[in-house]
Structure 1
Amino acid sequence: MTSVIDLYEQLSSAPDDRARARVIAEAFEHMEQRYPEVTDLATGTSLRETELRLQKEIEQLRGEVHKEIEQLRGEVHKEIEQLRAEMHQEIGEVQKEIGEIQKEVLQMRSEMRQMDHRLQKEIAQTKGEIIKWTVTWTGGLLMTHAALLLAGLKYLLGG
């Protein structure tokens, strides 16, 4: 209200029409700076149109996002199934390798038992041969020793 009173005082104290026109022009300029142009003001209709347009865009974006989410879910599900299949295949291969290794272990155990049996047989044969050789050698030595003793006794006894 103070600005209206100031405007009135300036208009009434203006000396001529030219000064009054200048005061009115300054008042309009001040008012234009303070308030936007009427064409720039939003009306209820334009606000409603903008709101409807934005709602439509939001719904469209929601649909696109939902579609992308479903697409990504499908891709992730597909990748998970592919990984499961690959893992199942890998597990099968590992189980096959385990079976082959177990087979090799059994074969090696069998070969080791055969080797052990063969070595025990060879040890027994060698032991028998050593005993036979020792008995033969010892018997020969005893016979030679006895013959020498008898010969020595015969010689000593005069005979």
Structure 2
Amino acid sequence: MRTPQVVVVMGVAGTGKTTIGPLLAARLGVPYAEGDDFHPKANIDKMTAGIPLDDSDRWPWLDAIGHWAHGRAGLGGVVSSSALKRAYRDRLRAVAPGVVFVHLTGDRKLIEDRMAHRQGHFMPTALLDSQFATLEPLGPDEAGVAVDVAGGPEEITERAVLALDGLSTASASQ
């Protein structure tokens, strides 16, 4: 499989970005960066208080992720980011044009259940509705794949690898 420059693992909270991202990076043989680590403290405090971020909160965060991705150009990497809106993905692509997205998707009830059982995360389940309301799935003109989050982490990772391989094969034949 041809490794994309950088893969952004995206999706609403609770889809498993932090679980699948490192597994995918290991399978691709590239470094992983946790998108939440790019948030300034003010963003984390806001989300911890149950207040959704607005775009002015997100722009510096997305720019920081984009700069990391740009620095990995030609080397490869995997980074997690909700990247819920097309405008957010456009912002990432403006800084790091070669990024490819893996959109983790799934049944809302499954995602809510997973969120309710995870430990030590600042994002409360109460913000899930705002995440789904904001979500704009990948457009047909965006480099990326959608991967269902049903099943275990290894199974989801395998689906992501296969989908990326299919994307790489399709790109190479055009």
Same fold (TM over 0.5): no
Please say which structure displays the higher CA radius of gyration. 1
Query: Which one has the bigger strand percentage?
Result: 2
Higher helix fraction (1 or 2): 1
Q: TM-score, normalised by structure 1?
A: 0.19
TM-score w.r.t. length of structure 2: 0.18
